[in-house]
Amino acid sequence: MIEIIRRGLKGKIRILSLLVVFSFLLCPFSFPADAYAEQNDWKKEQGKDLPLMVTSDRMVSSQKENKIFFYGNVVAVRGDVTLHSDELEVYNTPKENKTEKIIARGHVVIDSKDRHATGQEATYYDVTQRIILTGNPKAWENNNEIVGDEMIFLVNEDKFIVNSKEQKGQQIKLIFYPGEEKGEKEKKDGDMKEKSPVKKKKER
């Protein structure tokens, strides 16, 4: 069930969907343990699933085929997570009219606070709670970055899988900066400079 709530001056359409749930947008792209706790607290405060807001230049809905298509400058927002893409397709089940699959295509960008991911196509499967990101996918948080040919997010299992295609001769690339945050390191360096003794020049 989708309700159109506003049509913009430039023909953009904004919709509010209470049934379409972008679970993958809440899946973190790295490994902080407190990320899920924050998200669950947010959802408890709301008392229900977060709605999905979609803005696009054009929308086409086919009730016969149980499909909804969004074209041009697509922006999907759910909670504190934002997805950008050229196109977005929502497939619903024929009988229950529940979300079956969601596909974002073209210049896909997913932002969630300090977590980000990019690719050319992202597919979300509701039954298996799986998201597959392809098309030179890359995910990063702060300075930590990972690149592969295919990224799979297993939402229910809290797993993140990165695959590479052997025929291309490419390997997975991970750039990880362990240790202190940049701000903390600079602060400590400053404190050490203040504590270090200043050498006085000898008077002749």
Would you call 118 helix, strand, or coil by DSSP? strand
Poorest-pLDDT segment among 123-132, 161-170, 177-186: 177-186
Could you say which DSSP state residue 170 is in? -
**Within a domain: 167:** yes
At 38, which CATH number?
2.60.450.10
pLDDT in tens, 17-55: 323 333 333 343 333 434 444 444 434 444 346 677 889
pLDDT in tens, 92-119: 888 777 788 889 999 999 888 888 899 9
On whether the CB atoms of residues 109 and 116 are closer than 8 A, the answer is yes
pLDDT in tens, 166-181: 655 556 555 556 664 5
**Within a domain: 203:** no
Q: How many helices (H) and strands (E) does the chain have?
A: 2, 14
Q: Give the integer Cα–Cα distance in Å for 73 and 115.
A: 21
Residue 70 pLDDT greater than 50, yes or no: yes
pLDDT at 158: 72
Size of the chain, expressed as the number of residues it contains? 204
Domain count within the chain:
1
The CB-side HSE value for 80 (13 A sphere, CA atoms) comes to: 13
Would you call 127 helix, strand, or coil by DSSP? coil
Q: Give the integer Cα–Cα distance in Å for 71 and 87.
A: 5
Range of the domain at 167: 2-195
pLDDT at 109: 94
Over the Cα atoms of the chain, what is R_g? Answer: 22
Q: Which two tokens stand for residue 152?
A: 């799979």
**Within a domain: 202:** no
**Within a domain: 204:** no
**Within a domain: 201:** no
Would you call 23 helix, strand, or coil by DSSP? helix
Average pLDDT, the chain: 70
Check: pTM over 0.75? Answer yes or no. Answer: no
pLDDT at 188: 52
**Within a domain: 65:** yes
% pLDDT > 90, the chain = 20
On whether the CB atoms of residues 91 and 123 are closer than 8 A, the answer is no
**Within a domain: 200:** no
